[in-house]
A and B are shown apart, each in its own frame.
Chain A
């Protein structure tokens, strides 16, 4: 055979052909180059421009051809895949459901983790943003900085730049004629610059706005407040907004995505730190080194790692402790990534633990789903071995067949992925709708964003490739003659049953872990429901209100006492009291020294305290165990400092029982405080906490007048009508006062259980899914094996085996793998229990009931899954089986 030597044009043409699908090139490529060679030779005689035209025409036509052929191949592959899906609806439903559940759960958890933990701040370069906090040798947890310590860090730190401070506070205003409480953030001059926020309209606050105390009445509005109060009008710039009876010039609007750096509250406005005295008159804590009240943020200095910066900050904190021992003794400084403080600096550890637990569970779920898909694909490709062998024999290329099988897996996984995304969005809207009132202002909102979609697609594609391609390659290597000679019946499974048994063992282990987790969460929830909060919450109503007309603590005390009397006279009202904090919310704490405490326990103890009016304990249903309640005369700055402690505090520091009449010294002002009473324990911060020391001080003994107070009210009428009556009274007393909707305490208890309830529901749901998927896997495996060994079972029964023996044989085989998986799962589940303990309302280190329950449920489901194929094995007709 002869063939002209390839010319340069020829080589160039061949390179062009590479854009055609492989099959087309194999079929026509050589021929096409021959034709082009002829064409080129003839055209060359007509000159260069003719050749150029030829190249242009040829390239254009080839591109069109390539597009059409690729599309046609894809269409035929997808059509083929869809036909297969239609032909095996049960298989397809099983595969798609497995994937949808696995992928949907992963996308949901990934989206949540991203929103709350991984990437919660819409600021540039979040990795270099840090939060500086005070650590205390005696007490765990992170606390804010005092004004002077903040200034020292700002001026002396070399590892940090842009050190800024902020503080959340409330202020009253009138919007569209209605009095309202606004969430105001006071920020130091470099706050916005440090965060890298750009104004939406106008300008943001800068260092020039934070120079003279009380001299910068300017405000930046949040985007939401700008829309709500000013209709999104640019003319808002230059207008003023009243904050606690003082006008502030609106200079700018923050971008809509920026909602401060704290995820639990949406700020309405930002004002300079220099204006704090105007927002909160008489706030003694705003100056000096005594009161720790400022949240401090900063950026890492260029080329400084967070570990180096943390070390340098700690050294600075140690230096400040030596320099100012009166205030900084036993304390130092540390820093954490700013992103970790979004859901509360001290909550990060718990939340990330919960996040990891959920991630581990949905990861396990996805693994189970993938093993199911792998099992299904392997079983099916084995069943199709003959079909594939025939197509190979008829000349189909192996590449083409592999591509078809992969397309088929891709179609399945994309459908699964799409269904998973749908599931995720359902899950989100359900979670969101069920969130408690306390989280109404959550700035962190899980949504379906591009990253989550990308992640989902990546997971589903990877699954398809891994579990579609491996079996596909194996099938494409099928030995043609043997398969065809065997009539496609005697072909061994592509993967030996050993591998698939291992897969089932793994599935059972994973499902056991998921079930143990579900059991733990459910038991934890039951326990939480039974927790006694220590106060009578059923009929308690609370409203946030403070008398702003007061100009001094004494005047405030008088006005409040008057108002309490009037509230008592409301119809149906049984008791009224005022406090600075509601149970189960964050509040203040004192660091105190207790001279009489047992050796080494009374030094520098941090004790949370509430300031309460006379009658608070009666109103809240907290029992007085010894001593007396506060009286109307105890309040006032000139009165001797007194406190009432709870039972835990009395027992820990005065074990001999002489707490009443005892003393402690408050480090914050050096005052010696006398204890006048002991009351029963109640939950302070969370329902799950173990009883801890806490104390109460009389209201108005400390300075600070504009502080918002919580009014507590017990009424024989319904909580709703009591709250309406209270609202009416406050309105009448002070028409300018914004009164937020009163809180019904029973609902707050319910809210406090929201997180554990959601955790239990999702983990429980995941556990049930894992069980269902694993059972399907066990069933699928045994069904295939029973099908393969029908011949053997028939033979056995011919030789005299009874059906019961066959059933037992199959069960034994299946349950051996289940038992192996179960043991693995129990060991891992027990380890997880200990690790997850801090998340749960659980006193035990290993929850035997949860593990035992999980094992029992799993064994029952596995037995059922084995029994169905086992009974089928026993029904094999020996005559039929032998004939096959």
Chain B
């Protein structure tokens, strides 16, 4: 299958995959750090399990949205580091914009409290 490089082709992302991309936006991370980051950035609302996380990572890798780095954790050589690719960043942006548009519509229909300030 030819790999697409148009960010729109990857939308919509699953919530879990979106959060993994967002977690990597802060910088390279290994598996466990990603689990923790996702939990933190969603206040515990999204709790990934090892199996779920690696299902997502393998797909993101195959789609070229993330890359694995040769660098390993000096404490445990099994830990691989992942990095967001430019395509991955573009996809995360596109998904954010898509969600923002949806939120805008929701707000116009008074589905949300108006933003203060």
**Interface residues in chain A, defined as those with a beta carbon under 8 Å from any beta carbon in chain B:** 1-4, 24, 27-28, 30-36, 38-39, 57-58, 60-65, 68-69
Q: Is the CB of A65 within 8 A of B55?
A: yes
A34, A58, A60, A62: which has the most chain B beta carbons within 10 Å?
A34
Distance in angstroms between the alpha carbons of A28 and B54 in the assembled complex: 7
Q: How far is the CB of A511 from chain B (nearest CB, A)?
A: 44
Other-chain residue from B49, B55, B77 in contact with A2 (beta carbon distance below 8 A): B77
A643 to B31 Cα, complex, angstroms: 104
Q: Give the residue name and chain of the A residue nearest to B75 (CB).
A: A2
In the assembled complex, the Cα of A65 lies from the Cα of B74 at a distance in Å of 29
A68 and B74 CA atoms in complex are apart in Å by: 33
Known: A31-B31, A34-B78. A60 touches B49 (CB 8 A): yes
B35 and A34 form a contact (CB under 8 A): no
Known: A60-B51, A64-B51, A69-B58. 7 other contacts (CB 8 A): A2-B74, A34-B78, A35-B30, A60-B49, A61-B51, A64-B55, A68-B55
Residues of B within 8 A of A1 (CB): 72, 74, 77
CA separation between A697 and B78, bound complex, in Å? Answer: 101
Q: In the assembled complex, which residues on chain A have CB atoms less than 8 Å from the CB atom of B76?
A: 2-4, 34
Residue of A nearest to B73 (CB): A34
B50 interface contact, C-beta 8 A: yes
Inter-chain CA distance A481–B80, complex, in Å, is 31
Q: Does B96 contact A (CB under 8 A)?
A: no
Candidates B35, B47, B52, B78; contact of A65 at CB < 8 Å: B52
B23 at the interface (CB under 8 A from A): no
Report B-chain residues with C-beta under 8 Å of the C-beta of A36.
50
A39 to B55, CA, bound (A): 17
A57: B residues at CB distance < 8 A: 47, 49
Determine whether the beta carbon of B58 is less than 8 Å from that of A28. yes
List residues of chain A with CB within 8 A of the CB of B78.
3, 30-31, 33-34
Shortest Cβ gap from A45 to chain B (Å) = 14
Q: How large is the interface on B (under 10, 10 to 19, 20 to 34, 35 or more residues)?
A: 20 to 34
Q: A31-B31, A35-B31, A35-B35 are in contact. Are A3 and B51 (CB under 8 A)?
A: no
**How many angstroms between the C-alpha atoms of A28 and B47 in the bound complex?**
20
Assess A35 versus B53: contact at CB under 8 Å? Given A2-B77, A3-B77, A4-B76. yes
Closest B residue by C-beta to A66: B51
- Please indicate the chain A residues that have their CB under 8 angstroms from the CB of B57 in the complex: 28
Contact assessment for A58 and B32 in the assembled complex, using a CB-CB cutoff below 8 Å: no
Offer 22 A-B interface pairs, CB within 8 angstroms, sorted by A: A1-B72, A2-B74, A2-B77, A3-B78, A27-B58, A28-B58, A30-B78, A31-B30, A31-B78, A33-B78, A35-B32, A35-B35, A39-B35, A39-B50, A58-B50, A60-B51, A61-B51, A63-B51, A65-B52, A65-B54, A65-B55, A69-B58
Q: Does B79 contact A (CB under 8 A)?
A: yes
Chain B residues with CB under 8 A of A68: 55
B21 to chain A, nearest CB (A): 18
User: Looking across the interface, which residue of chain A has its beta carbon closest to that of B34?
Assistant: A35
Interface string of B69-109 (1 = CB under 8 A from A): 00010111111100000000000000000000000000000
Chain A residues near B77: list those with CB within 8 A: 1-3
Contact A31 B54, beta carbon cutoff 8 Å? yes
A27 contacts across to B, CB distance below 8 A: 58
Contacts of B31 in A (CB 8 A): 31-32, 34-35
If A31-B31, A34-B32, A35-B32 touch, whether A61 touches B52 (CB-CB below 8 Å) is yes
Name which residue of chain A comes closest to B52, CB basis.
A61
Question: Of all chain B residues, which has the CB nearest A4?
Answer: B76
Alpha-carbon distance A58/B54, docked complex (angstroms): 12
Task: List residues of chain A with CB within 8 A of the CB of B47.
Answer: 57
> What's the minimum C-beta distance from B93 to chain A, rounded to whole angstroms?
27
Contacts of A39 in B (CB 8 A): 32, 35, 50
Interface 1/0s, chain B 55-75, versus A by CB < 8 A?
101100000000000001011
Is A61 a contact partner of B50 (Cβ separation < 8 A)? Answer: yes
CB distance from A39 to the nearest CB of B (A): 7
List the 5 closest pairs (A to B, CB-CB), nearest first: A61-B51, A61-B49, A62-B51, A1-B77, A35-B31
Distance from A464 Cβ to chain B, minimum over Cβ atoms (Å)? 26
Bound complex: CA of A718 vs CA of B50, how far in Å? Answer: 88
Which one of B51, B74, B79 contacts A34 once the chains associate, using CB atoms below 8 Å? B79
Roughly how many angstroms separate A33 CA and B79 CA in the complex, as a whole number? 10
Q: Give the distance to chain B from A173, nearest Cβ to Cβ, in Å.
A: 72
A32 touches B50 (CB 8 A): yes
**Residue pair B51, A58 in contact (C-beta under 8 Å):** yes
Query: What is the CA–CA distance of A58 and B49 in the complex, to the nearest angstrom?
Result: 6
- Cβ-closest chain A residue relative to B49: A61
CB distance from B70 to the nearest CB of A (A): 14
- Closest B residue to A40 using CB positions: B50
Residues in A whose Cβ lies below 8 Å from that of B75: 2
Contact B52 A38 (CB under 8 A): no
A36 to B31, CA, bound (A): 9
Chain B residues with CB under 8 Å of A63's CB are 51
A2-B77, A4-B76, A30-B78 given; A35·B55 CB < 8 A: no
Given known A-B contacts A31-B78, A34-B76, A39-B50, A24 and B58 have beta carbons under 8 A apart: yes
Enumerate chain A residues within 8 angstroms of B54, measured Cβ to Cβ: 24, 28, 31-32, 35, 65
- Complex Cα–Cα for A57 and B35 (A): 14
Using Cβ atoms and an 8 Å threshold, which residues of chain B touch A35?
A: 30-32, 35, 50, 53-54, 79
Q: How far is the CA of A69 from the CA of B32 in the complex (A)?
A: 21
Inside 8 A of A33's CB, which chain B residues have their CB? 78
Report how far A65 CA is from B51 CA in the complex, Å. Answer: 6
Complex: chain B residue closest to A33, CB-CB: B78
Measured CA separation A4–B58 after assembly (Å): 25
Q: Which residues of B contact A69 (CB under 8 A)?
A: 55, 58
**B56 (CB) vs chain A CBs: closest residue:** A65
Q: How far is the CB of A500 from chain B (nearest CB, A)?
A: 36
Given the interface pairs A3-B76, A33-B78, the reply to whether A62 lies near B50 with Cβ below 8 Å is yes
CA distance A39 to B58 in the complex (A): 20
A60 to B80 CA separation, bound complex (whole angstroms): 24
Q: How far is the CB of B58 from chain A (nearest CB, A)?
A: 7
**Chain B 20-32 per-residue mask, 1 if CB under 8 angstroms from chain A, else 0:** 0000000000111
In whole Å, how far is A582's beta carbon from the nearest beta carbon of chain B?
Answer: 72
Residues of A within 8 A of B35 (CB): 35, 39
Q: Across the two chains, which residue of chain A brings its CB closest to B54?
A: A28
A434 to B8, CA, bound (A): 63
Smallest CB separation, B83 vs chain A (Å): 15
CA distance A36 to B76 in the complex (A): 13
Q: Which chain B residue lies CB-closest to A28?
A: B54
Q: Which of B32, B51, B58 contacts A38 (CB 8 A)?
A: B32
Question: B55 contacts which chain A residues (CB < 8 A)?
Answer: 61, 64-65, 68-69
CA distance A38 to B30 in the complex (A): 12
Closest CB in chain A relative to B59 CB, distance in Å: 9
**Inter-chain contacts of B32 with A (CB < 8 A):** 34-35, 38-39
Contact partners of B72 in chain A: CB under 8 A = 1
How far is it, in angstroms, between the C-alpha of A101 and the C-alpha of B3 when the chains are bound? Answer: 41
Q: Which residues of B contact A32 (CB under 8 A)?
A: 31, 50-51, 54
Q: In chain A, what residue has the closest Cβ to B55?
A: A65
Docked CA distance A1–B74 (Å): 7
Q: Complex: how many Å from CA A63 to CA B76?
A: 26
The answer for the CA separation of A646 and B78 in the assembled complex, in Å, is 99
- State how many angstroms separate the Cβ of A111 from the closest Cβ of chain B: 43
Chain A hits for B74, CB < 8 A: 1-2
| A417 and B47 alpha carbons, distance in the complex (Å) | 47
Using Cβ atoms and an 8 Å threshold, which residues of chain B touch A61? 49-52, 55
Distance from A397 Cβ to chain B, minimum over Cβ atoms (Å)? 15
Question: In this complex, which of B30, B78, B80 has the most chain A Cβ atoms within 10 angstroms of its Cβ?
Answer: B78
Contacts of B51 in A (CB 8 A): 32, 58, 60-65
Q: How many angstroms from the CA of A38 to the CA of B50 in the assembled complex? A: 11
A69, B54: Cα distance in complex, Å? 11
Nearest CB of B to A79, in Å: 9
B39 to chain A, nearest CB (A): 11
State the CA gap A702–B109 with chains docked (Å).
Answer: 106
In the bound assembly, the distance between CA atoms of A32 and B72 in angstroms comes to 14
Least CB distance, B81 to chain A, in whole angstroms: 10
CB of A7 to closest CB in B, whole Å: 13
